[in-house]
Amino acid sequence: MRLILSAGLAALMASAALADVTVETAQGPVTLPETPAKVAALDLGVADMMMALGVTPAAVPDKLYLDHLQPLAQAAAPAGTLQEPDLEKLAALGPDLIVVANRSAVKKDAVAQVAPAIDMTVDGADLIGQAKARLAALAALFGRQAEGEALAAALDGKLAALADAGRGKGTALVVLTNGPKMSAYGEGSRFGWIYEVTGLPQVEATLKSEANHGDAVSHEFIAQANPDWLFVLDRGAAIGADEPSARATLDNELVRRTSAWKNGHVVYLPADNVYLAPGGYTALSETLDALTAALSE
């Protein structure tokens, strides 16, 4: 009898281990045959979320860019670039699941030839809501619900503190520099979530709300818009490009006339976090902290 019970228990445990797992993704719910043990994270934001949950990816992009992701260079195998995953390396690794997002999302079908793949893209004006949803989904996938809830609560605390700091502080303009070139982003655009979390409305200017690459703007445009706050992202610094910095590009007689410049309200955000790891837990937390600190001065 004892042997029969033991065999029955073993069968039950094996059945539980192989139970289907449904995860919410950017493309809807996806059912996996079991909880994955070896996961390739081909997006920096996804790798960031996994680290925050206490889960180490088996593979990550070759170049990690962000300082807080550097420990993964020793802990995980390199698997190509953000835009071009290395299928041979992935096949040699033999992951149970491959997670793509944002820049790597277009390669989902290609990497799915190696292992099941899901898209956890986070983008647009609803970045905060999407980031929370992806965090909860990954927490459930890895059986880390308690950790996920604690992280979400900490994030809510940061958002509340930022909302308090930004209350009644005037208008804002989000600008991304790419060497000497500049683009402005409005509410509802790729970086529109910055207006939402700070509570600062966009300056009165016509900007494409759905623009992924923003609107090309000049120093004259910024001077005429005259924001109370100028939130700046330096793309060159984020990717390590050898080109003029955002500070050099913006240091112009016309920009120096703005309220933002005169009052010391030109805020250079951690562009690597925002540009390369949208929705990444630590990346997002550090950005919220930077915004809160600037608006609290």
Arithmetic mean of pLDDT, 82-94? 96
pLDDT over 90 percentage in the chain:
86
Q: Are 250 and 232 a contacting pair, CB within 8 Å?
A: yes
At 10 the pLDDT is 45
Q: Are 204 and 173 a contacting pair, CB within 8 Å?
A: no
* Any domain includes 274: yes
* Any domain includes 4: no
149-166 confidence digits (pLDDT tens): 999 999 999 999 999 999
CATH for 82: 3.40.50.1980
The mean predicted confidence, pLDDT, of the chain is: 92
Q: How many domains does the chain have?
A: 2
Task: Say whether both 185 and 101 belong to one domain.
Answer: no
Tell the residue number behind the tokens 């308090």, with chain if given.
164
pLDDT of residue 5 exceeding 60, the answer is no
Cα–Cα distance, 284 to 274 (Å, whole number): 7
Cα–Cα distance, 169 to 199 (Å, whole number): 9
* Any domain includes 143: no
pLDDT of residue 18 exceeding 70, the answer is no
Query: From the centroid of its chain, how far is CA 95?
Result: 23
* Any domain includes 206: yes
98-149 confidence digits (pLDDT tens): 999 999 999 999 999 999 999 999 987 799 999 999 999 999 999 999 999 9
DSSP 179-206: TTEEEEE-TTSTTTHHHHHH-PPBPS--
Distances (CA, A) of 144 to 23, 159, 180: 13, 23, 44
170-216 confidence digits (pLDDT tens): 999 999 999 999 999 999 899 999 999 999 999 988 887 665 778 99
Task: Say whether both 277 and 171 belong to one domain.
Answer: yes
* Burial grade of 251 (CB within 10 A; 0-12, 13-18, 19 or more): middle
Task: Say whether both 273 and 215 belong to one domain.
Answer: yes
204-260 confidence digits (pLDDT tens): 888 876 657 789 999 999 999 999 999 999 999 999 999 999 999 999 999 999 999
Task: Say whether both 180 and 108 belong to one domain.
Answer: no
Choose one of 122, 153, 179: the last residue of a domain: 122
Choose one of 68, 89, 122: the last residue of a domain: 122
At 155 the pLDDT is 98
Task: Say whether both 218 and 271 belong to one domain.
Answer: yes
Task: Say whether both 25 and 80 belong to one domain.
Answer: yes
* Any domain includes 6: no
Domain of 24?
Answer: 18-122
pLDDT of residue 2 exceeding 70, the answer is no
Task: Say whether both 181 and 252 belong to one domain.
Answer: yes
Task: Say whether both 99 and 220 belong to one domain.
Answer: no
